[in-house]
Structure 1
Amino acid sequence: MRHRDFRWFVIGAAAGQFGAQVTLIVLPLVAVFVLHASAFQVSLLTAVETSAFLLIALPAGVWVDRVRRLPVLIRADVARATAMGSVPLAAASGLLTMAQLYAVALVTGIATVFFDIAHQSCLPRLLRPDQLVAGNGMLEAVRSSAQVAGPGLGGGLVQLMGAPMAFVADALGYLVSALCLRRIRTAEPPPEAASGIRLHARVTEALMFILRNPVLRAIALTSAVANLFATMLLSVQTVFLVRVLQLKPGALGLVLSTSALGGLAGALVAGAIARAVGQARVMWLVTLATGPFALLWPLAGRGAAAAWFALGSGAVSFGAVVYNVAQVSFRQSMCPDHLLGRMNASMRFMVWGTMPLGGLAGGFAASAAGVRAAVWVCAVGFLLAPIPLLCSPLRRLRDLPVAQRGDGPPVISGQHPEGC
């Protein structure tokens, strides 16, 4: 039963990720080609979509811990499908504006906050703790596969059908995800009863759970820095590829799809690499080894030289996926269930809360110094991400602390100190 339900969970994730990856390319292309938006207006779309993690992630985590998580996933998918479906309708009637795109980005971002918190909190109920690394590896493979296929298909749809109509594929992806999630039959335990503890106290409990753990604290800082500069790149990459490198929508999709091959490769080998070098060591080692490839982003040029952008993104994506499989599996296995939603929400707040700031920073940098200069800032800043890991106990460990999900802290055993 559990394996059957996990299969539906993965299929739903594939459909939802497909829609999300098409959105990633189609939303800014609508702004650029249909509404002729400036670089700052395009980057503001990214800032608006990710702002929900900064604004509501913490209370959303408290709420998710008080309800059954599967219905949250389904309702979030339906909300995202509805928002995406409004774009072709508005375009067909000649009413599409940047204001509507910002509204769609905001609604999608809010729904994604609840979906992501509940999604990470559902997996430990479908799999045993010793299956989490493999399960997260499979989900990362699904996400990376969508990153390979989605942008290429999205660019092709924009070129063949026009940017607004490509949103139909986004909406369908989210609806299929909702239908797959409804097939899951694993019984969820009754949600935690509301207590007299105030909201700020419950939020503080989850934040302190992260901040008092040196491993979680280092993971949060590294992820926050990486997301800041990765989102800064995301906010300007469409303008960079279209207006600086002069790529057509189909070629742009091909570049982004090729970039995602690195993430797919990372998902396929993440478990093997972690076993070979250690789950602790792999996190700082892979980020340190792949981070310098970010410098290839601003070195890309027109024509065949656009391949440098794809190569840099592919290497960075490989490292990010291997890192994510290791750190997410650790978080899920060592956190008590009653705190899982709030812990995931607090982590999302800390590591994704930098994303709207990155979106705004990308827009300001592109407006002030030019798009290529903004990409240089993204690349150089990305090199800072491994520093918190290197300054943490992880640098002296081969494997992470043995995780025991319960009410107490993780038990430290089986560690292999390395270095000073």
Structure 2
Amino acid sequence: MSAQHVLAHKDGEQAAAPRSVLRNRDFLLLLAGQTVGELGARVSGVAVPLLAVQALGASVFEVSLLTFLTWLPYLVFALPAGVMADRYELRKLMITCDLVRMVLMLSLPVAAATGHLGLGYLYAVVGICGVCTVLFNVAYKSVLPRIAAPQQLVDANAKLVMGQDAAELIGPTVSGVLIGLVGAARTFLTNGLAFLVSALTLWLIRIPQGPRQRADSGNVLEGRVPVRTEMTEGLAFIRTRPILLAILACTTTSNFFVVAKSAIEVNFLVHDLHATSVQVGLVFSVSAVGGLIVGAGAARLSARIGSARVIWAAMTLPGPLYLLMPLAGPGWGLALYGLGLAAFSANVGLYNIASGSYQQHITPDGLQGRVNAAFMWICLGVLPLGALTGGLLGSWLGLRPALWICVLGAWSAAVFVLLSPLRTMRDMPAERT
């Protein structure tokens, strides 16, 4: 960690309060770039399945394969990505990923205009973008602890989540309107622009290099640990910490059922509830309200309730509202689906802010990439399996019964943090252990 992020303690004096994270130039650039990038992701999150359903006539299972290919790279590539994030310059890695994804997104309207757009091409673009996204996200999670002080992490993570939720509030509606005006394929021009903006903001950020990156840049490679060993060091770190293990199990279970739900929800809204593309966008936009409200007060809630209690409370209390999603109906009944998604958005926002800040704080700088990658390998590696499960359940049982299974499964994840040491704690231990 750079010297500017270490608070001096002399003769038992309390450390000075850290400067507001909003006065940190590099953080503001990161926040701006990632908010725009998330806006593009939310647009494509609606546009990709609608393109497959409306323009290419994809079945329920074929649409679920798009979700499968989006998340499969986390299972295959996350651990090597962690080694790369700890070894190479983070900014260059992230900019390269943004530019590759920009080109791929811009290729979709070109392929549609020339008559070459089919499910196979869409699968290829989604899969390659998924590989770039894995590397980008592993590097991205390693950036924040280098540009923000430890005492600023909760506030910084909360503001990043608010940016994501603001994008989620606007993005789906923008996507639905654009699809209605210019068609699903041309909507991806917005994604290309978003990735370009993200790359430009990253180019302006000054990100301190980690100790292993500085050694590599100076060609001091003697005694380097074999790559296979490096890939498992993040897992070894997590195994010795019961709280991280509980968070890992909770997040993994929740993610599995949530992505199963995501794989079928557009089909459910369009086919069962007869929603238009604009209505689909509005439903997903409503879901962001919960995350925005929670993100605005996350730091205060964490201090008032306790940074440990917040984690299990966020996973447990909103659960009954998830049941509104399979209870939704056509017309005004669509609002129930949006409210259920809003409750889940509030859960995700508060839970991820608290658990992510703790993970970043206790993880040594030289292990940030590999610990982040280990979490992603497991928590996000189950997502392709969840996507296939959602598609199969929707095909075999019907979309509404499949949704009941998914929302109850997501709520059940709270058991892991309720039965962990978090249940008897108010706050997380501050020191790295």
1:12 has 2:33 as partner: yes
Query: Counterparts of 1:269-348 in structure 2 under 5 Å?
Result: 269-348=297-376
Query: Counterparts of 1:60-209 in structure 2 under 5 Å?
Result: 60-189=81-210, 191=213, 192-193=215-216, 194=221, 195-209=223-237
The structure 2 residue matched to 1:230, chosen from 255, 258, 261, is 258
After superposition, the C-alpha distances for 1:119-173 in whole angstroms (9 at most, x for unaligned) are 0101111111001111101100000100000000001100111010001101111
CA distance in 2: counterparts of 1:207 and 1:92, whole angstroms? 46
After superposition, the C-alpha distances for 1:152-199 in whole angstroms (9 at most, x for unaligned) are 000110011101000110111111110111111344356054444222
After superposition, the C-alpha distances for 1:250-306 in whole angstroms (9 at most, x for unaligned) are 111011101111111121111111111100001001210012211111100000011
1:370 has 2:391 as partner: no
Counterpart AA for 2:241: N
CA distance in 2: counterparts of 1:380 and 1:186, whole angstroms? 42
Note the aligned Cα RMSD (angstroms): 1.3
Q: Which runs of 4+ in 1 moved over 4 A?
A: none
CA distance in 1: counterparts of 2:137 and 2:224, whole angstroms? 27
Match of 1:418 in 2: none
Counterpart AA for 1:34: A
- Asked whether the equivalents of residues 8 and 184 of structure 1 are also in contact (C-alpha less than 8 Å), the reply is yes
Task: Report the secondary structure of 2:187's partner residue.
Answer: helix
CA distance in 2: counterparts of 1:384 and 1:186, whole angstroms? 39
- Asked whether the equivalents of residues 67 and 263 of structure 2 are also in contact (C-alpha less than 8 Å), the reply is yes
Counterpart AA for 1:67: Y
CA distance in 2: counterparts of 1:158 and 1:263, whole angstroms? 25
**TM-score, with length taken from structure 2:** 0.92
- Asked whether the equivalents of residues 172 and 284 of structure 2 are also in contact (C-alpha less than 8 Å), the reply is yes
Kindly state the Cα deviation for residue 83 of structure 1 after the two structures are TM-superposed. 1.2
Match of 1:27 in 2: 48
CA distance in 1: counterparts of 2:318 and 2:285, whole angstroms? 19
Query: Counterparts of 1:237-248 in structure 2 under 5 Å?
Result: 237-248=265-276
Kindly state the Cα deviation for residue 356 of structure 1 after the two structures are TM-superposed. 0.6
Match of 2:293 in 1: 265
Kindly state the Cα deviation for residue 200 of structure 1 after the two structures are TM-superposed. 2.4
Task: Report the secondary structure of 1:105's partner residue.
Answer: helix
Match of 1:48 in 2: 69
- Asked whether the equivalents of residues 143 and 207 of structure 2 are also in contact (C-alpha less than 8 Å), the reply is no
Match of 1:414 in 2: none
After superposition, the C-alpha distances for 1:194-245 in whole angstroms (9 at most, x for unaligned) are 4442222212221011121001001100000111011011111110111111
Task: Report the secondary structure of 1:80's partner residue.
Answer: helix
Counterpart AA for 2:398: G
Match of 1:361 in 2: 389
Task: Report the secondary structure of 1:36's partner residue.
Answer: coil
**TM-score, with length taken from structure 1:** 0.94
CA distance in 2: counterparts of 1:62 and 1:22, whole angstroms? 31
- Asked whether the equivalents of residues 65 and 387 of structure 2 are also in contact (C-alpha less than 8 Å), the reply is yes
- Asked whether the equivalents of residues 260 and 317 of structure 1 are also in contact (C-alpha less than 8 Å), the reply is yes
More divergent stretch after superposition (346-355 vs 192-201) = 192-201
- Asked whether the equivalents of residues 231 and 358 of structure 1 are also in contact (C-alpha less than 8 Å), the reply is yes
Match of 1:36 in 2: 57
Task: Report the secondary structure of 2:142's partner residue.
Answer: helix
Counterpart AA for 2:267: V
- Asked whether the equivalents of residues 330 and 403 of structure 1 are also in contact (C-alpha less than 8 Å), the reply is no
Kindly state the Cα deviation for residue 38 of structure 1 after the two structures are TM-superposed. 0.2
After superposition, the C-alpha distances for 1:290-339 in whole angstroms (9 at most, x for unaligned) are 12211111100000011110111101110110010001111111111111
Match of 1:407 in 2: none
User: Alignment identity in percent?
Assistant: 39
Unaligned residue ranges in structure 2 (runs of 5+): 5-22
Match of 2:8 in 1: none
More divergent stretch after superposition (346-355 vs 189-198) = 189-198
Match of 2:16 in 1: none
CA distance in 2: counterparts of 1:399 and 1:6, whole angstroms? 26
Match of 2:246 in 1: 218
After superposition, the C-alpha distances for 1:365-391 in whole angstroms (9 at most, x for unaligned) are 111111112111111111211111011
Task: Report the secondary structure of 1:56's partner residue.
Answer: helix
Query: Counterparts of 1:403-418 in structure 2 under 5 Å?
Result: 403-404=431-432, 410=433
Counterpart AA for 1:94: G
CA distance in 1: counterparts of 2:210 and 2:247, whole angstroms? 30
Counterpart AA for 2:280: L
Match of 1:415 in 2: none
Counterpart AA for 1:386: A
- Asked whether the equivalents of residues 215 and 394 of structure 1 are also in contact (C-alpha less than 8 Å), the reply is yes
CA distance in 2: counterparts of 1:387 and 1:82, whole angstroms? 43
CA distance in 2: counterparts of 1:383 and 1:78, whole angstroms? 37
- Asked whether the equivalents of residues 90 and 207 of structure 2 are also in contact (C-alpha less than 8 Å), the reply is no
Counterpart AA for 2:227: L
Task: Report the secondary structure of 1:58's partner residue.
Answer: helix
